[in-house]
Structure 1
Amino acid sequence: MKKIFILFFILVLGIVIYYYSKFNYPKPYALVNSNVAKYAKQNEDSKGIPLLKFKGRNIYYPINISQVALHYYKNYYETNNENSKKYFLKLAQWHLNNFTDNGKWGGWYCEDNLRESSYNLPSRWISAMSQGFGLSVMIEAYGLTKNKRYLDIAKKVLNSFEISTVDGGISSNWGNNIWFEEYPTTPQKHVLNGFIFALAGLYDYYKYTKNEKAKILFEDGITALKEHISSFDAGFNSYYSMSENVKLHTIASATGWKYHHLHIAQLLWVYTVTGDEYFKSYAHKFLQQDFGDTLNYGLQKRIKNIKATNTIEPKNYGTDNLDDSIWTYGKYWSTYKFPTKLKVSFNRFVRKLNGFTIVTTGADLDYENMDLYAVLADNEKIKLNFKLLDKQIHKTRHHIANVQRFGISTLALKNKNINSVIINFKSYKHGKVLAIRELNFYYDMNHEINILSNILNYKSE
């Protein structure tokens, strides 16, 4: 009996010690998850350090290495997996070994100018994104090891947020605000996701150390984000980056780019830690503009089905292509018979319908010969007034996407529940064939914002 009591006491003591130590570990970086399975087949060197394959070259890319480290720390924090801890500490050690000390500040440099990219970078450069990630890696590693060298390096990384890109650092001026640059390129190319990733590192460092400089830099960054977030609104999607050179503006969900849904999640995190409803309103706006990439987060598909009275080739070029999230290239729906009606049925009743976007393969819509109807919950059909708001042409290699955005008068709808929408193309004057890549409707999505917030489960400390 005495042995059983001793074993039970040891077990309880072990549990208490485990949870006490875990409580004292730094909280994981918020903008990553604990899924490390995706790194099982990553490109690595002989020592297990991640390598970025770029145009045939293997690059030690600090953004990538630090991001992988953050995932493994979060996995260890949530699962107590010792292999994850071991690999995290290996990557943390890489950060110690490869830190460049410039005196009062320093960081992790990329030794490749990515010359085949759209960026005009020096041969050796530093990124606000890897500096932000690195701040969190340093405090997480310190929490596990109590090695003060991690904190010493973190202090110098923090100072890099005050060093201009002109002097080899990561900060720039955007109007009257500071901006932390993911890429110190010329001309400046203010990247939204990299900026917010950097802010999250500052936030982690401040919360763990209570360092006043980190707090000020974070707050200055939040002020800049609030001032400039509207610049990233493309009307139908978000911009990946902004520049004084408009030719460098890139839509966040264009070919090969899946950053629009990342922007939504990041803005919800900013809202969570600041309590500022302005950021939530932009998360909601960007969610309305999403072509479907947020399905990655587990949200329900917005459109139940789309039916057409006429389709040229239903098997390969049917209505399924109209909400597949691919709006810049690929398959489309088309018709050559008029009138043709599209009936778009939603997966739930929607309210406050205020606009829609249609993306064609090039030619304009004959919108003056279009009718729009809302079908209500009781099957009542209401004709809606709409007008063209703007038109944008986006080209990707051999493909053209003609984005036409419309506003809907809400007077006839008020707060009525809408089951579906009907678009009637009565005629088409711009050719024999009407071809549409994608369409989207804008309505109140606070229900989805609340679901997404619960899925992401960000916490304010």
Structure 2
Amino acid sequence: MRLVRWSAYLLLVLLLVYGYRSYSLFTHFGRDIALPPSSEQYYHLEPAFCLDACRSIDTSIVSQDEDGVYVVNFDRVKNLRVHDKRVYFPGTIGQLALTHYVRLKRYGNQEDKKAFLANVDWLAGNIRESGCWDNPIDISVTPGRVVKQPWCSGLAQGVAISALVRAYTLTQDDKYLGVALHAARVFQPGVPDSVTSRIRPDAVCYEEVMDAGHPTCVLNGYIFAIFGLYDLTRVSSDPQIKAFYDAGMQSLITLTPQFDSGYWSYYSLDSVRSLANHYAIASPSYQRIHAEMYTALARMDPAPVLEQYRQVHTDYAHRGWFNIVVIPLYLMYQDFSLAYKWFRQLKE
């Protein structure tokens, strides 16, 4: 009887804790998704959008080196892929550089300018001849498949190009534009370190993680790549850059309905779907980001499907019944992941 009573107390406590945390997260997702009028008309990353998108990076897992460049502590990442190492991760560096840029434009803080340029200078100094920034960890997007380091990322290329374009407009230093143009080379199919896959005969995808022979087409990585190319077309008349952007945007318009499950968005179009990758269903934070991204896309291109899915993903983000189930499960998954890591470290 005592065991039953204490089990009931424990269950009540768990319900209260996860109920409160879920409510807090749900109300955060429930904020209206809107972008302010542009003060820099050709930049998709308006202040509200960039800060929300960059918020997907947990700042508790990053630190800065002596030069102010961001380093990711992968042993603190809240999932089951344990990487006990600190690395310079180009996508994180690009996204947090953009955060400092937005703060600089909004508040005029010179410390943000210093941090922005420190991280952009790292990007300018660490690009390979192929145009790729190396991602120095092994990673698994598809259960049972591992992409060995170093690999090239469409997401990292896109956010880094966006940061470099802003550095160019801020400083008028041609080196930043030159690096951004060099980085766009990997969007050419078939070249070394290409991030372009043929997801179906009439559509390409810019892969967040390029797994040769097994396209996954992660949605947020795909869109970040398109954003970077869009920014670059506004400062460069190179017809190849425009061709990369057009191919990516038209393919995204074609593929957009495939990312809709009918009640939530898919994180990717991976053909392998199991419990290990949540059946490719997006997490609550990525659902929010998908809504923000389609809000920006609908302003960039008048295609009706973009406006349609802006509304669809926005509804999913803060009015969908699925929130009631997925948010508590997501929080439990995060807690289990951290506990697993702590247990593993104790055993070692």
Task: Report the Cα distance in structure 2 between the residues aligned to 1:52 and 1:232, rounded to whole angstroms.
Answer: 29
Does structure 1 retain, via aligned residues, the 8 Å contact 2:229–2:245? yes
Q: Is the aligned partner of 1:61 residue 2:81?
A: no
Whole-Å separation in 2 of the counterparts to 1:174 and 1:279: 19
1:161 and 2:177 are equivalent in the alignment: no
Alignment of 1:251 with 2:281, yes or no, is yes
CA deviation profile, 1:418-457 (whole Å, cap 9, x unmatched): xxxxxxxxxxxxxxxxxxxxxxxxxxxxxxxxxxxxxxxx
**Mapped contact 1:239–1:252 kept (Cα < 8 A):** yes
Relative to 1, partners in 2 of residues 1:41 and 1:116: Cα closer, same or farther, differing over 3 Å? closer
* Partner residue in 1 for 2:222: 195
Question: What residue in structure 2 maps to residue 33 of structure 1?
Answer: 51
The AA in structure 2 aligned to 1:140 is: R
1:235 aligns with 2:262: yes
1:120 aligns with 2:146: yes
Task: Give the strand-richer structure, 1 or 2.
Answer: 1
Matched, 1:148 2:174: yes
Secondary structure at 1:138 match in 2: helix
Of 117, 120, 127, which residue of structure 2 is paired with 1:92? 120
> Letter of the aligned partner of 1:33 in structure 2?
L
The aligned amino acid for 1:252 is A
Structure 1 residues 35 and 288: CA distance shift in structure 2, 3 A: closer
Q: CA contact under 8 A between 1:28 and 1:70: conserved in structure 2?
A: no
Q: Please give the per-residue CA displacement for 1:221-274, whole angstroms capped at 9, x wherever unaligned.
A: 121111111111112111101123344541113xxx521121111111111110
Equivalent position SS for 2:267: strand
Question: In 2, Cα distance between the equivalents of 1:116 and 1:209?
Answer: 33
SS in 2 for 1:178: strand
Q: Is the 8 A contact 1:35 1:71 kept in 2?
A: no
2:34 maps to which residue?
Answer: none
| 196 and 25 in structure 1: CA distance in 2 versus 1, 3 angstrom threshold | closer
**Structure 1 pair 129–396 and aligned structure 2 pair: CA distance change class (3 A):** closer
CA drift at 1:36? 9.1
Say if 2:63 is the partner of 1:43. yes
Once residues 324 and 172 of structure 1 are traced to their aligned partners in structure 2, the CA distance between those partners, rounded to angstroms, is: 34
What is the aligned partner in structure 2 of residue 433 from structure 1?
none
CA contact (8 A) 2:267 2:286 kept: yes
Contact residue 141 and residue 209 of structure 2 kept, 8 A: no
Q: Distance in 2 between matches of 1:76 and 1:116?
A: 35
For the Cα contact (< 8 Å) 1:182–1:194, is it kept in 2? yes
How far apart are the structure 1 equivalents of 2:323 and 2:156? 38
RMSD: 3.4
The one-character-per-residue Cα deviations of 1:332-371 (angstroms, maximum 9, x if unpaired) are: xxxxxxxxxxxxxxxxxxxxxxxxxxxxxxxxxxxxxxxx
Q: What SS does structure 1 have at the residue aligned with 2:70? A: coil
Q: Structure 1 residues 228 and 327 mapped into 2: Cα distance closer, same or farther (>3 Å)?
A: farther
Aligned to 2:196: 171
CA contact (8 A) 2:67 2:118 kept: no
Asked if 1:135 corresponds to 2:151, the answer is no
| C-alpha distance in structure 1 between counterparts of 2:105 and 2:135, whole Å | 29
Residue segments in structure 2 that go unaligned for 5+ positions in a row: 1-38, 75-81, 337-348
Could you tell me which amino acid in structure 2 is paired with residue 99 of structure 1? I
CA distance in 2, matches of 1:85, 1:34: 20
| TM-superposed deviation, 1:212 | 2.3
How far is 1:125 from its partner? 0.7
Q: Is the 8 A contact 1:131 1:198 kept in 2?
A: yes
**CA displacement 1:201-222 (0-9 Å, x = unmatched):** 1111111223322222212112
Alpha-carbon spacing, 1:322–1:35, altered in 2? closer, same or farther (3 Å): closer
> Distance between the aligned counterparts of 2:199 and 2:330, measured in 1?
33
Shift in Å, 1:35 = 10
Matches of 2:323 and 2:118, distance apart in 1 = 46
The answer to whether the 8 Å contact 1:128/1:182 transfers is yes
List gaps (5 residues or longer) in structure 1: 1-22, 293-300, 304-320, 332-394, 399-461
1:326 maps to which residue? 327
The residue type paired with residue 110 of structure 1 is: N
Distance 2:110 2:176 in 1: 21
| Residues 132 and 200, structure 1, Cα contact 8 Å, conserved in 2 | yes
| Larger RCO, structures 1/2 (Cα 8 Å, 6+ apart) | 2
Report the Cα offset of residue 26 of structure 1.
7.7
Which has the higher Rg, Structure 1 or Structure 2? 1
Residues 325 and 221 of structure 1: is their aligned pair in 2 closer, same or farther, counting only changes over 3 Å? same
SS at match of 2:51: coil
Select 2:72's aligned residue among 41, 48, 52: 52
Contact 1:26 1:143 in 2 (8 A): no
**Contact 2:62/2:73, CA 8 A, preserved across alignment:** no
- TM-score between both structures, scaled by the size of structure 2: 0.71
Query: Residue 206 of structure 2 aligns with which residue?
Result: 180
Identity among equivalent positions (%) equals 23
TM-score normalised according to structure 1 size:
0.54
Which amino acid counterpart does residue 326 of structure 1 have in structure 2?
I
Decide which structure has greater helix share.
2
Contact 1:114–1:121 (8 Å) recurs in 2: yes
Cα 1:188–1:89 shift into 2, 3 Å: same
Kindly tell me: are residues 329 and 50 of structure 1, through their superposed partners in 2, closer, same or farther at Cα, counting changes over 3 Å? closer
- The answer to whether the 8 Å contact 1:36/1:75 transfers is no
Count of aligned pairs: 280
